[in-house]
Amino acid sequence: MIKAVVFDMDGVLIDSEEVWSRVRAEVVARHGGHWTEDDQRNVMGDNSRQWSAYIKRTWNLPLSEDEIFREVLAMMITSYEHELPVLPGAHEAVALLGKRYPLGVASSSPRELITVALRLAGFADSFGVIVSSDDVAHGKPEPDVYLLAAERLGVLPADCLAIEDSTNGIRAAIAAGMKTIAVPNPVFPSAEEVLAQAALVLPNLLMLNESTIEAFSDDAS
């Protein structure tokens, strides 16, 4: 049975994948490179160490990996503070599931950015556990971030429901042994063969209602 729910943040609660792509493109262009949608897909799910290394390696920027990370992070925070794109249904889904289960976040974003985003979105007190992929050895699609979230929630991964959008995120949650609801990102769509492994696929969080959860809980148990 479900005992806790773990949300991804980027692409599930916050419509931020295009923001990430734009900010990385600006940083890379500033130093002589050219960021593409393929590059964005290549780093989706990566932790900060991984995507900073990718940028450094791909364009040999005249910055250290830490300097790349800091420049991107500062621009992301500025962008969020100017306008935070909360996805439709996010508040309703968090409120609905928070009445029933302990909630956690398992995000590839750095912890500082997660904290800023959740505060600005009005979710500061909604999640008992927040885990960044920077807290573990490997980002998504490895299951590390989800396994740590389950451990900190005090439940077995098999008793957790994960809500994800990306190919690598869905793979990570399933690899952790969690029941997974996929809410695919229309701009960076998930692979069909990965969506087929999810327990449930929804077009958006607005479709996550009492009936959906009741039916899903019955099926999962």
**pLDDT tens digits, one per residue of 7-28:** 999 999 999 989 999 999 999 9
Residue entry with tokens 């932790």? 47
Residue 128 shares a structural domain with residue 47: no
Last residue of a domain, one of 62, 82, 102: 82
Distance in angstroms (rounded) separating the CA atoms of residues 3 and 217: 10
Percent residues over pLDDT 90 in the chain? 89
The yes-or-no answer on residue 8 being catalytic is: yes
Residue 62 shares a structural domain with residue 159: no
Q: Give me 32's structure tokens.
A: 């002589």
The yes-or-no answer on residue 219 being catalytic is: no
CATH of the domain at 160: 3.40.50.1000
* Whether residue 220 has pLDDT greater than 50: no
- pLDDT-derived band at 209 (thresholds 50, 70, 90) equals confident
Q: Give the model confidence (pLDDT) of 124-137 as tens digits.
A: 999 999 999 999 99
Average pLDDT over residues 102-113: 97
> Into how many domains does the chain fold?
2
Write phi, then psi, for 7 (nearest 5 degrees). Answer: -95, 135
Q: Do β-strands 160-164 and 179-182 pair in parallel, antiparallel, or remain unpaired?
A: parallel
Residue 104 shares a structural domain with residue 162: yes
Average pLDDT over residues 153-166: 96
CATH of the domain at 35: 1.10.150
Residue 107 shares a structural domain with residue 128: yes
Residue 77 shares a structural domain with residue 117: no
Residue 107 shares a structural domain with residue 175: yes
Domain that holds residue 130: 4-15+85-220
Residue 152 shares a structural domain with residue 50: no
Distance in angstroms (rounded) separating the CA atoms of residues 7 and 12: 7
pTM: 0.91
Q: Give me 145's structure tokens.
A: 């971030």
Residue 66 shares a structural domain with residue 97: no
Catalytic one of 8, 15, 39, 165 = 8
Catalytic one of 10, 15, 144, 165 = 10
